[in-house]
Amino acid sequence: MRAALALAMLLSGCGDGVAVTDRGASENQMERLSTPRKEVVDPQAPARLQPLDRADLVQAGLADPLCDFSRDGRMLFAVSAADAIARVGGTVRHFAHSTPAEPTGGFFEDRQVSVSVGRVGEVRPGEGAVGSWPARITVTNRRAEAQTELNGVWRCGS
């Protein structure tokens, strides 16, 4: 009789109605303790340029930049005689000139990010300092070990 009573209790599932899996953990507990799903993160995000707007230029004192780099009609980098700005990772960053901004390009950096702009193609002898040319920009975030390159237009002068 005792054996029948024990078997009846076992089959009736004397518990709180929570499904129990192997080793006594409920499905809910296993889900909470399992390895979280990996979030897809863009490893190049710390070096990816985002468009500058007019307010960014005015706030930085670059309402009329000496030179700028744009792609698909959107300005991504602007340079004056004393400053250079770009929006990287949602933040407008200011860069020091490592080389002067010229029609052939330039090199700019802060403590974390460096920007190199260079014209693509031949520079003709006696070519003026005003105009727009095909160019490539390279942005390197040294701390995040990320780098991006874009082709676009380098424009200097009015």
pLDDT digits (tens, 9 = 90+) for 107-156: 999 999 999 999 998 777 777 778 899 999 999 999 989 999 999 999 99
Cα–Cα distance, 103 to 146 (Å, whole number) = 27
Cα–Cα distance, 70 to 115 (Å, whole number) = 14
Cα–Cα distance, 60 to 80 (Å, whole number) = 10
Residue 139 in tokens: 């942005």
Strands (E) in 72-123, as ranges, are 74-79, 84-88, 91-97, 105-109, 113-119
At 59-110, the pLDDT tens digits run: 999 988 999 999 999 999 999 999 999 999 889 999 999 999 999 999 999 9
Q: What pTM was estimated for this model as a whole?
A: 0.72
Closest CA to 138 of 116, 154, 153, 106: 116
pLDDT level of residue 33 (50, 70, 90 thresholds): low
